[in-house]
Chain A
């Protein structure tokens, strides 16, 4: 059911049933039923659901205990929750002998964990005045809209619209915006992601086929560059559908992406443009406490920047490791941490050298921004290799392109710098035009684009019988 088209269909069905009943209690029932039904679609048998169900029940019990005895129980409960998570996710370092030896499903477990930890930490800090009911806990942690790939909504924000009576009415404009967002998401997941993945795999094949290495530069570079675009369309498209369904049901879910390839440094990319809610979560519950802890433990102004770099490294290393259980993802985490740390050190050093004012001026320089964007994109492309390939594939690709690796990366940097600068110029021009254009024109343009996107999506899925690639983040 996590395939984009059936998922969007389910969203529409739930919305139809939701609005067909008037009483808030019934509407709450409809949502609860939808959450349970959605979750059950992932389980081939009742046994496969036991670990996830036990995790949810255990987490809720832990939350209740923390509310009752915040000081004494917080650390043991938190440690137990994390241990069970690591055990159920079968991380590489978990000995095979102690793993569960039957097939079970852990769909959305990572996202459930983020929400559970957020509740536990905030409960320990005394943030919740009222007791959280079991139904609210379940709806928040395993809501069908955000279960599979997020976004990770703050409980406080979620609570504001928990009661259907508190939700804004569904106006024609709201419904149109929601549907348009869902169609945009479907277009990304079912057409653009498919296109990028198809071309990427063809290019990869071409790059790995025996032959003169000069003929592999272009396919090799394209295979590397297209994956970030694929994963962006795959993930952000699904999030668009999620946000659209949420909008239909009167819930305003947080945005998870903000034109990530326009980032001009790696901290900007990970911090506020890519998987934003995860970054915010980590900032709130890992980076900030870690930095504060280090600064309290070693209070010296001269070492503060070092702690900041260290906290960045650890936070982003954790982001990488969160993505998967294999050594490739550990290395991926190391690269993310390395990139962000180097970025932070560069900022510290250059600010010291140039001074804040001149560094600020440099950051506004068009050429500097274009080069930074190209570099950021190239680094993201490089690190993403450990996201989509295993060591064997990386070895094969490296040996196939070995004599031309440096030219390939120079090509990627140069082309991405120019292409992203052009794209940004076009985007800015379009933004300016949109501001100066009468609303009727921009609305018409939106209708044209949405109709086209819907036609293409349906045709590709049904006529061309090309299924959308799997949602990659479903696995996390």
Chain B
């Protein structure tokens, strides 16, 4: 041994570990008893398993490093697995090595079973879906449990060119390319059959207008418009049918009402819609919806988007109105890519790949670790200054054609007894947000329509709230939209916000 170099010793050790029978044959008599044969086989199996584990762990480490997924946990796991396996291979005797390999095998089996179980048990949509199913059952509706992608596929297979709804905020930081320029569309494809959402138990579908908003066809040539609605999903009347949409309901009183709302819009994207589209419609009144729970969140996202911030500059415009054909093509291609990606995710090969990569388990570990070791994120501080600037710009824009702006404070169902997650403390917190918004609106030169008192807030009357709200976080039910539309109409006439004879420039 003294004559051997260190590398030779290492080589012999490795040989000894991997091929014990070979060494037996070379240096010892061939094992004769069945006990020896079994132990030799067990040792070989253990060695093969441990080497395979080292290689697999190294491959996993390399793969994650190449795909920039090298999280601390993953690195730690790789280091631990490799060092434990190498330690078992070189440092310990037969019994411990066989035991160690068995434990590793068990861990592997366990981890992959957990992956399977987590796919089966922890469908993130399951609790929400279950609540929707229950609510639909109560309303006597057979719940359509298909995904939107499945509905789209089914419609497309029947030759209907169906599309998902368009959410501009998803493109805030990666606008679409039209020619050489980057464009952030604010509406969907024009005249597109859209499969929107399912809260009642049935999917709501509608056809967009010529600029991709949720209005009846041929809404745009009717200039000047009476009323325009800007806002997020509630302005797009998610998730009720056309007959219950805010536009339809307001048209009973103001026939030329249009909406430029889109789900996920915050004040800056709403300002953008007003600036891009409404000068062409010249509405006498803009109803600018403020969703009390989501608008602050959406504004936080928009504040990080240079493109959205540019709309605070009165001279900035993307000129979307004149680019509808190009927008149609770009949005269609964007949707097609998304649908293809969605379908790819559902393919068995992709799912198998995710299973091998332990995607769900890693996600669970990430949530587990981040829930414990990441400092709790505070509720975003609502940037009142930014909101006020957006509002002032909107008021100024409407003023260019003699239109008025009214901020409609759109309450969340969670503030009412019977609404999801209701608690008096939550309502008190929401009230303080409301008071701030109403003050800012008044300061910015906009009128204020507060809908927060339109639904029963206490007592036996609050029992009727089940007619207006779903028992899970969602948009209003059709009856809720009707109450909102009636209240808006009444407030508009009470405050004298709509003047039939107003002069439009």
Interface residues of A (CB under 8 A from B): 191, 194-195, 198, 205, 209-211, 438, 440-441, 444-445, 447-456, 459-460, 462-464, 466
Tell me, yes or no, whether B364 is within 8 Å of chain A by CB.
yes
Take A209-B137, A444-B42, A455-B111 as given contacts and tell me if A460 and B117 are in contact as well, using a CB distance cutoff of 8 Å.
Answer: yes
Q: Is B365 in contact with A463, judged by CB distance below 8 angstroms?
A: yes
Q: Do residues B121 and A464 form an inter-chain contact, with CB atoms below 8 A?
A: yes
Known A209-B142, A463-B361, A464-B364; 14 more pairs at CB < 8 Å: A210-B140, A440-B39, A441-B38, A444-B99, A445-B102, A447-B99, A447-B106, A448-B109, A449-B109, A454-B110, A455-B111, A455-B113, A459-B111, A464-B122
Question: Considering only CB atoms and an 8 Å cut-off, how many residues of chain B contact the other chain?
Answer: 31
The one of B38, B114, B122 that contacts A455, using a Cβ cutoff of 8 Å: B114
Interface residues in B68-124 by Cβ distance below 8 A to A read 98-99, 102-103, 105-107, 109-111, 113-114, 117-118, 121-122
- Give the top 7 A-B pairs by smallest Cβ distance, nearest first: A451-B106, A455-B110, A447-B102, A452-B110, A452-B109, A459-B114, A452-B106
- 10 cross-chain CB contacts under 8 A: A191-B117, A438-B34, A440-B42, A447-B99, A454-B106, A455-B106, A455-B109, A455-B111, A459-B114, A466-B121
Q: Which of A209, A462, A464 has a CB less than 8 Å from the CB of B117?
A: A464
Q: B residues within 8 Å of A by Cβ?
A: 34-35, 38-39, 42, 98-99, 102-103, 105-107, 109-111, 113-114, 117-118, 121-122, 130, 133, 137, 140, 142-143, 361, 364-365, 368
Which residues of B sit under 8 angstroms from A459, Cβ to Cβ?
A: 110-111, 114, 118, 361, 364
Cα–Cα distance between A397 and B234 once the two chains are bound (Å): 40
Complex CA–CA separation, A444 to B113 (angstroms): 19
Residue on B nearest A199 in the bound complex, by CB? B120
How far is B126's CA from A466's CA once the two chains are assembled, in angstroms? Answer: 14
Q: Which of B102, B118, B133, B143 has the most CB of A within 10 A?
A: B102
**Chain B facing A: main interface SS:** helix
When distances are taken between beta carbons in the complex, the residues of chain A under 8 Å from B42 are 440-441, 444
Give every chain B residue within 8 A of A195 (Cβ-Cβ): 117, 121
**CB nearest neighbor in B for A211:** B142
Which residues on A sit within 8 Å (CB–CB) of B35? Answer: 438
Whether the Cβ atoms of B110 and A440 lie closer than 8 Å is: no
The DSSP consensus for interface residues of chain A is helix
Q: Which residues of chain A come closer than 8 Å to B121, judged between CB atoms? A: 194-195, 198, 460, 464, 466
Interface-centre pick from A194, A205, A455 (highest chain B CB count, 10 A): A455
Q: Are B106 and A448 in contact (CB under 8 A)?
A: yes
Contact between chains at B107 and A456 (CB < 8 Å): no
A205 to B134, CA, bound (A): 9
Q: Closest residue of chain B to A194, judged by CB?
A: B121
Docked-complex contact B103 and A447, CB < 8 angstroms: yes
Q: Which chain B positions have C-beta within 8 A of A209?
A: 133, 137, 142-143
Q: Once the chains bind, are B103 and A456 in contact (CB under 8 Å)?
A: no
Please give the distance in Å from A113's CB to the nearest CB on chain B.
38
- Least Cβ–Cβ distance between A200 and chain B, in angstroms: 13
The answer to whether B106 and A449 touch across the interface, beta carbons within 8 angstroms, is yes
Chain B residues contacting A447 (CB-CB under 8 Å) are: 99, 102-103, 106
Select B110's contact among A198, A441, A456, beta carbons within 8 Å. A456
CA distance A441 to B117 in the complex (A): 28
Kindly list chain A residues whose C-beta atoms are within 8 Å of the C-beta of B364.
459, 463-464
Does the CB pair A452–B142 fall under 8 Å?
Answer: no
Are A452 and B107 CB-contacts (below 8 A) given A191-B117, A438-B38, A462-B368? Answer: yes
Closest beta carbon of chain A to B83's beta carbon, Å: 18
Minimum CB distance partner of A438 in chain B: B38
Question: Which residues of A have CB within 8 Å of B110?
Answer: 451-456, 459
List, in ascending order, chain B residues with CB within 8 A of A194's CB.
121
B114 close to A460 (CB less than 8 A): yes
Residues of A within 8 A of B109 (CB): 448-449, 451-452, 455
Tell me how far the C-beta of A13 lies from the nearest C-beta in chain B, rounded to whole angstroms: 23
A447 to B103, CA, bound (A): 6
Smallest CB gap from B113: residue in A: A456
Contact assessment for B361 and A448 in the assembled complex, using a CB-CB cutoff below 8 Å: no
Residues in A with CB closer than 8 Å to B102 are 444-445, 447-448, 451
Q: Are B114 and A463 in contact (CB under 8 A)?
A: yes
Q: Which residue of A is nearest B143, CB measured?
A: A209
From A205, A450, A451, residue with most partner B Cβ within 10 Å: A451
A456: chain B residues within 8 A (beta carbon): 110, 113-114, 117
Given A205-B133, A463-B364, A451 and B105 contact (CB-CB distance below 8 Å): yes
Query: How many angstroms from the CA of A451 to the CA of B106 in the assembled complex?
Result: 5
Task: Report the separation of the CA atoms of residues A438 and B365 in the bound assembly, to the nearest whole angstrom.
Answer: 38
Complex contacts, B365 vs chain A, CB 8 Å: 463
The chain B residue with its CB closest to the CB of A449 is B106
B contact residues around A455 at 8 Å (CB) = 106-107, 109-111, 113-114
| CA of A460 to CA of B121, assembled, Å | 10
Inter-chain contact B118/A451, CB cutoff 8 Å: no
A226 smallest CB distance to B (angstroms): 14
